[in-house]
Amino acid sequence: MTMATDAHHGPEFLAHHFDRPVQQFDAAKLGMWTFLAQEILFFSGIFVAYLLFRSWYPEAWSLGSRLLDWRMGTINTFVLLISSFTAAQAVATAQRGERNKTTVYLAITLICAGIFMVVKYFEYSHKFHVGLLPGSLFNPTEEGWAEIAAAAANSHGMESAPAGTYANHVRSYIGLYFMATGLHGIHVLIGMGVITWVMIRNIKGEFTSEFWTPVDLVALYWHLVDLIWIYLFPFMYLID
C-alpha cells in the first residue's frame, strides 16, 4: 500500500486501508468464507453426533423421527429454498444497481425467514404442550405418551418394548432434535437481523453497481443457513 495521507483517495465506500475496491471486496469475501468454514465445522459436530447415535440406537431414531411432523418440515424446506433464490436475486439486482428490486428481493427473503420461524414456533409449541422436551424437562403428558406409543407401534424393533424403554430412547432423540433445530433457528434469527440491516442501508441508497459487498455477504450467510436445513430436514424428519 502507499503511504497514508490526510486525503482519502478513491470512492467514498473504499476504506482507508485498501487501495482498490476489488481489494476491499476480496478481503471481505475471504473473511466471510472463513467465518462460514467455522460454521460448517460447528454444525458438522452435530451431524457426527447424529450419525453416531443413530448407529448405536437405530430403534430410538426410528421411533423419534416418527414423532416429528414431516409436513411442517416440508413447508419450511420449500420456504427456505424460495428464500435462497430471492437472496441470489438480491445480489444480481444489486450488481446492476437496481436498488428497488434489491429491496423487494431482500424483503421477500426476510418474509420467508419469518414464515420459517412461525412454522417452527407451532412445531415447538406442540412439543411443549405434550411434554416432549429435552433432558430433565422430558415429562410427556397423556397425549405425549399416546404419540410415543403410536410411533413405537410403527417403528422396527420397538413394537413390544416396555414403556420405560420408549422414554429413554425418545429423550435422547428429542434432546438432539432441539439442539440441532434450535441452533439452526438462532442462525435464522441472526440472518433476519442482518438482512433487515442490509435492506435499510439499501433503501437509504448506500449500495450501487460499484458497491454491493454487504448484500453479497449476507446472501452467502443465508445460503449456508439454507444448506444446513437441507441436511437437517431428511436426517431428522424423513430417515426411518
Query: Quick check: 106 and 198 in contact, CB under 8 A?
Result: yes
Lowest-confidence region among 38-42, 62-66, 122-126, 154-158: 154-158
| pLDDT tens track for 198-222 | 999 999 999 888 888 899 999 999 9
In a domain, 55, yes or no: no
On whether residue 187 sits in a domain, the answer given is yes
**Buried-state track 48-87, b at ≥16 Cβ within 10 A, e below 16:** eebeebbeebebbbbbbbbbbeeeebeebbebbebbbebb
Give how far Cα 166 sits from Cα of 125, 129, 171, 202, Å.
22, 19, 8, 52
Quick one: pLDDT band at residue 1, thresholds 50, 70, 90?
very low
Number of neighbours of residue 170 by Cβ within 10 angstroms:
24
Q: What is the pLDDT of residues 131-159, one digit of tens each?
A: 999 888 888 888 988 888 787 776 665 55
Q: What is the CATH number of the domain that holds 141?
A: 1.20.120.80
When the pLDDT of each residue in the chain is averaged and rounded to a whole number, the result is 86
Per-residue pLDDT for 188 more than 70?
A: yes
Predicted local confidence at residue 146, as pLDDT: 85
DSSP 8: P
Average pLDDT over residues 86-102: 96
Percent of the chain with pLDDT over 90: 60
**Nearest CA among 68, 59, 54 for reference residue 153:** 59
| 24 inside domain | no
pLDDT at 65: 87
Does residue 86 belong to any structural domain of this protein? yes
Is residue 153 in some structural domain? yes
User: Could you give the number of structural domains in the chain?
Assistant: 1
* Predicted local distance difference test score (pLDDT) of residue 6: 43
Confidence of residue 22 (pLDDT cuts 50, 70, 90): low
Residue-level pLDDT at 14: 47
Whether 156 is in a domain gets the answer: yes
Side chain identity, residue 53: F
The answer, yes or no, to whether residue 163 has pLDDT greater than 80, is no
pLDDT of residue 148: 81
- Provide the residue range defining the domain that includes 126: 45-50+68-238
Binning pLDDT at 50, 70 and 90, where does residue 29 land? confident
Q: Is residue 6 part of a domain?
A: no
Most confidently predicted of 57-71, 176-190, 200-214: 176-190
CA dist., res. 76 & res. 90, Å (int): 21
> Sign (positive/negative) of CA torsion 195, 183, 126, 82?
positive
User: Which amino acid is located at 235 in the chain?
Assistant: F
- C-beta of residue 152 within 8 angstroms of C-beta of residue 158: yes
Domain-embedded: residue 27:
no
Among 69-73, 101-105, 136-140, 198-202, which stretch is predicted with the lowest mean pLDDT?
A: 136-140
Work out the average pLDDT over 186-190: 98
